[in-house]
Amino acid sequence: MRIEIESKNPNVLLDRTEVYFRADHSGEGSPKRAEVKAKLAEALAVSKDKVVIDHMETEFGKGVSTGYAKVYGSADSAKRFEKNYLLARNEMAEPKRPAKKK
């Protein structure tokens, strides 16, 4: 799998860089979120705990996925600004379970 960074936009107010990327995975299945997160962290020279993948879509029949990720200045900033379900998808928090009705 090969990752290409299409654009990077700094967002100083939220202590992050917003990244649009393209993953070429020809001849393979759709990549897992953890694999893409590791490749993005490597390409941007940051640790994996600072990268949050917001969404990723695979183009049918092409072996190419495009997506949007956020690279935070610290893991604490990511936990402060991101919603819990996105943190859970990125393996940075435990998913919250709704309370059972009695």
pLDDT in tens, 29-65: 888 999 999 999 999 999 999 999 999 999 888 889 9
* Residue 96 falls inside a structural domain: no
* Residue 24 falls inside a structural domain: yes
Q: What domain range is 61 assigned to?
A: 2-89
Read off the pLDDT band of 99 (50, 70, 90). confident
Element (H, E) at 64: strand 64-72
* Residue 78 falls inside a structural domain: yes
pTM of the predicted structure, to 2 decimals: 0.84
When divided into structural domains, the chain yields a total of: 1
Residue environment code for 51-83, b if the CB has 16+ CB neighbours within 10 A, otherwise e: bbbeebebeeeeeebebbbbbbeeeeebeebbe
Instruction: Calculate what percentage of the chain has a pLDDT beyond 90.
Output: 67
Give the domain CATH number at 74: 3.30.70.330
* Residue 38 falls inside a structural domain: yes
